[in-house]
Amino acid sequence: MKLLVALLTVLITDSMPNVTVIQDSLITQLLYQCAQDSARNEEVAGYRVQIYSSNRQQGAKNEAIGLEQSISKQIDIPIYVQYVPPFWKVRLGDFATYEEANEFKRLFITDHPELTGDTYVVRDQVKVQR
């Protein structure tokens, strides 16, 4: 919420130069931190582990979101729910190499054998820190 307020403050002051905004210094710190984090993250070619893909018109979106919600309670890596027409996909992680992704896949399947047939290492644009 604080970040949203900070962004709105920037938009207001840019579009209305005669307006004076009085704000907590924490907002300025949050904006600075966001800019630094954004500058450190970069998207590069890499790998993710796909655990779900469906093009069923009825229910695929809900299944993908439900899977993301249940998995997020069990693992501490980024989870991406994507819609690439006509497929809903759930992908895990940001891996630089195939070997890293494959090792994660092996460990993931050990904990989630019910997803073995749907789990693959796939090429994707991944987020890395510089």
With cut-offs at 50, 70 and 90, classify the pLDDT of residue 18: confident
Answer yes or no: do 106 and 49 share one domain: yes
Contact 30, 3 (CB under 8 A): yes
Answer yes or no: do 57 and 109 share one domain: yes
Over residues 75-102, the pLDDT tens digits come to 999 999 999 999 999 999 999 999 999 9
Answer yes or no: do 52 and 108 share one domain: yes
Domain count, the chain: 2
Structure tokens given for 16? 């209305």
Domain that holds residue 24: 2-41
Cα–Cα distance list, 14 to 10, 17, 19, 36, 97 (Å): 6, 6, 9, 21, 43
Q: What CATH number did the domain enclosing 55 receive? A: 3.30.70
Smallest Cα–Cα separation from 21: which of 3, 8, 33, 34? Answer: 8
Answer yes or no: do 48 and 75 share one domain: yes
Answer yes or no: do 33 and 65 share one domain: no
